[in-house]
Chains A and B, each alone.
Chain A
Amino acid sequence: MNEHRRQILQMLSEGKINADEAERLIAAVEQPTSSFSSADSGSSATSKPRPKYLRVVVDSEDDGGHEGPTKVNVRVPMQLLRAGVRLAGLIPAPALHRANDAMHAKGVPIDLTQIKPENLEELVEQLNDLTVDVDQKDQYAKVKVRVFCE
């Protein structure tokens, strides 16, 4: 794009076009760029496509030789997660308090009453960047778990 501007300025300096024509040409050259950049800045999601699925892939290689390898492949639509989050938003407060008590008893200090549906929606959106890789190798088997969005 700078090259176009340079050419226009060159033409202006050589006297092939006057200042008004140069201004119009520069405006015409810059117009698609500015519209593209404004559209791009309007939503950051355009740079990165929104994930459609949450994938959980489990590969288990049996080293003992008895069970054989096992593969689990789960693909859950993100829409289902969103709907589940909305369903969680409908849970009445007494049930949330009971769940809080149960989780505190297990040593999980999360207050579910503080989690609002809008926060959960944001959480689902942020799953786009989530990748969980777990490799476990023990005496009998090697297990590889991958959780990611696509």
Chain B
Amino acid sequence: MIPFVAVVSLRDQKSRTFRLWIPLFLIWLLLLPLAILLSPFVFIGCLFCRVNPFSGVAVMWQILNALTDTNIEVEHRSAGVSFHIL
């Protein structure tokens, strides 16, 4: 399943935490028409680079699916950043 939400947490020096929920599904919805419009160009570009365009699209879709549950945290004394894809 493709990721729907990304959560970015920021912690400042005073231990105040700001949590930002990014609705990725809205981004996918916005990008979908663009992807459809650009697909002929991507297809031609793939053929030009001698890459099977269907394999390319399949792999990109797999990467998108696999992004779910990715977690990156950086903690420092003065600040902290956390990025979690749900």
Q: Interface residues, chain A, CB within 8 Å of chain B? A: 53, 67-77, 79-80, 82-84, 86-87, 90, 92-93
Contacts and interface: CB of A to CB of B under 8 A. Distances in A.
Contacts of B60: 87
Contacts of A90: 51-52, 55-56, 59
Interface of B: 49-52, 55-56, 59-60, 62-63, 65-78
B32 to A, nearest CB: 20
Contact of A77 (B50, B70, B72): B70
Nearest to B64: A83
A128 B69 CA distance: 18
A31 B67 CA distance: 44
Main secondary structure of the interface of A (DSSP, over half): mixed
A80 B67 contact: yes
A72 B74 contact: yes
Interface centre among A67, A75, A93 (most CB of B within 10 A): A75
Contacts of A83: 59, 62-63, 65-66
A77 B63 CA distance: 10
Contacts of B59: 83, 86-87, 90
Nearest to B76: A70
A92 B50 CA distance: 7
Contacts of A76: 70
A73 B81 CA distance: 10
Nearest to B67: A80
A80 B70 contact: yes
Given A75-B69, A90-B55, A80 B76 contact: no
A79 B50 contact: no
Contacts of A72: 73-75
